[in-house]
């Protein structure tokens, strides 16, 4: 599947400047760069899924890859697009989707963690063709994604409209 265009993203700084050396080191080890979607981004989900819209202003951190593995698999490399869509799904438990007439609706609303983990795998396979990596990512989410899922449920983030 060919992506019509990539999302326009702006990196946010990791707050290390002005901190003492131990705090800078700790933040470098424990913090991940956030990325902001700079304009509404649309993508047609694979397997006959709807056309979704990730709204301008959405902040995300890419795929949650442990830092020691970044040399082999960047959180904003092959898994950027599935990570972006998955992060929105985890945050809100829906994706904005566009009907043929332009009407927006909440796709997958209330479907839960497993639904978004499968979306991650399916989108990954569609955009990067790396079935082994996408399946390993999905398996990791299935085993360990509960922490991020629960954290997002507690946040109760305000709705972000396209």
Does a structural domain hold residue 160? no
Sign of the four-CA dihedral 25, 140, 37, 74: positive
Given a cut of 90, is residue 126 above it in pLDDT?
A: yes
Residues 134-157: tens digit of each pLDDT: 998 898 889 988 999 999 999 989
Q: What is the pLDDT of residue 62?
A: 84
What domain count does the chain have? Answer: 1
Over residues 69-120, the pLDDT tens digits come to 777 777 788 899 999 999 999 999 999 999 999 999 999 999 999 999 999 9
Q: 162 lies in a domain?
A: no
Percent of the chain exceeding pLDDT 70 equals: 99
Nearest to 76 by CA among 89, 88, 62: 62
Residue 34 has pLDDT above 80, yes or no: yes
- Decide: 37 and 55 in contact? Cβ < 8 Å: yes
Residue 1 lies in a domain: no
Question: Is residue 56 in a domain?
Answer: yes
User: Domain limits at 149?
Assistant: 11-155
- Asked if residue 122 belongs to a domain, the reply is yes
Domain contains 107? yes
User: Does some domain include residue 161?
Assistant: no
- Residue 27 belongs to some domain of the structure: yes
**Residue that is written with structure tokens 């047609």 in the block:** 44
Give ∠ CA 11-41-145 in degrees, rounded to 5.
70
Average model confidence (pLDDT) for the chain? 91
């Amino acid at each position: 599947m060919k992506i019509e265009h990539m999302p326009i993203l702006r990196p946010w700084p990791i707050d290390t400047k002005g901190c003492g050396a131990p705090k800078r080191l700790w933040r470098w080890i424990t913090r991940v760069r956030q990325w902001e979607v700079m304009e509404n981004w649309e993508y047609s989900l694979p397997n006959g899924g709807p056309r979704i819209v990730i709204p301008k202003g959405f902040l995300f951190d890419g795929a949650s890859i442990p830092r020691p593995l970044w040399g082999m698999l960047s959180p904003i490399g092959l898994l950027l697009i599935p990570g972006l869509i998955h992060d929105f799904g985890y945050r809100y438990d829906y994706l904005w989707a566009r009907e043929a007439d332009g009407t927006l609706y909440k796709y997958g609303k209330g479907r839960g963690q497993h639904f978004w983990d499968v979306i991650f795998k399916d989108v990954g396979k569609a955009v990067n063709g790396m079935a082994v990596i996408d399946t390993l990512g999905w398996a990791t989410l299935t085993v360990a994604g509960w922490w991020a899922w629960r954290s997002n449920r507690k946040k109760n983030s305000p709705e972000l409209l396209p």
